[in-house]
Amino acid sequence: MTHGYSSQIVVFTFTNSKCRLGNIFGELAVTFYRDEGRKVKTRLEKKSYGSIEFNVRYCFKVAIYAEFRRDWAEALRMYEDGYHALREVRFPKRLNKGVFGCKFCFESDYHEI
């Protein structure tokens, strides 16, 4: 006569294995995004890019990687840096309105796109 203990052990072991596997993948993801963030942050610090647009892109990229790591302070700091850099970008007065069809306003400048 079996009391069903073996099936309970199998279910418990399977559930426990899924939790461990999830923890391992979580740690790997945090490590990956930390390393990628460091690479991009190094480019930002060295200013090894050609234009202000890349500065904006790299700031947002580092911020997103910080969010993935749940480092909210760094994410907020990098988003703020990205938005400040974005305000320095000058858009042409006229672009193809059919493609964009929207308007941007930075400080006192008004550019219709």
How do residues 7-35 score in pLDDT, each as one tens digit? 555 555 667 787 888 889 889 988 998 99
Domain ranges of the chain: 5-112
Beta bridge partners of residue 55, listed in sequence order = none
How do residues 41-64 score in pLDDT, each as one tens digit? 898 888 777 788 888 999 999 999
**What is the 3-class SS of 38-88, one letter each residue?**
HHHHHHHHHCCCCCHHHHHHHHHHHHHHHHHCCCHHHHHHHHHHHHHHHHH
pTM of the predicted model over 0.85: no
